[in-house]
Amino acid sequence: MAETVDYAPFETTTAGPVEPASAAPHPVTAEELSRLHDVSVELAVEVGRTQMTIREALALGPGSIVTLNRLAGEPVDLLVNGKPIARGEVVVIDEEFGLRVTEVVAGETGAGPEAAAPAPAEVAPGLPAFAPAVPSEA
């Protein structure tokens, strides 16, 4: 048995005229951007990747070694919601892992080495270049 559903007509919610798709977007102001400051995102540090069959994955156990697509000493990627935004080196401070950012991926195009630009040495004067992934329980 199927029921008939009535849909309300779509009404536009934009204020003012709709710009054509070819029009360049206006620059984002600091005030507009500040609305996003408290939005949570997932940060992940990617050491490397590999592909294997389910048979190979099920065969993994203590002592197994998984070969990754990176060489030791190569920079690791910092991902925000799965998108690379920076690269850096893994550091250990007080038994906690962190990431020292060495380069920031430039622009919207993304992720190639040609798109990277050097990052400043410090985030802010007197602050370390990383924050521990897990706060210590002291």
Give the whole-angstrom CA distance, residue 56 versus residue 64: 11
Determine the pLDDT at residue 20.
62
**How far, CA to CA in Å, does 51 sit from each of 5, 54, 55, 57, 83?**
47, 10, 12, 9, 19
Residue 82 carries which side chain, given as an amino acid letter? G
Determine the pLDDT at residue 25.
77
- 115: exposed, middle or buried (C-beta count within 10 Å: 0-12, 13-18, 19+)? middle
Give the whole-angstrom CA distance, residue 138 versus residue 75: 31
Determine the pLDDT at residue 7.
72
Give the whole-angstrom CA distance, residue 3 versus residue 24: 45
Determine the pLDDT at residue 11.
65
Determine the pLDDT at residue 27.
84
pLDDT tens, the chain, 138 aa long = 677 777 766 665 555 566 666 667 778 888 888 888 999 999 999 888 999 999 999 999 999 999 988 888 889 999 999 899 999 999 888 889 899 999 999 765 444 444 444 443 334 334 444 444 444 444
pTM equals 0.52
Residue in the block written with tokens 């940060």: 43
Determine the pLDDT at residue 23.
66
Determine the pLDDT at residue 116.
40
Given a contact cutoff of 8 angstroms between Cβ atoms, the answer to whether 102 and 118 are in contact is yes
Options 3.10.180.10, 3.40.50.261, 3.40.50.2300, 2.30.330.10; which CATH number does 40-118 get? 2.30.330.10
Q: Could you state, in order of their start, the residue ranges of all structural domains in the chain?
A: 40-118
Given a contact cutoff of 8 angstroms between Cβ atoms, the answer to whether 131 and 124 are in contact is no
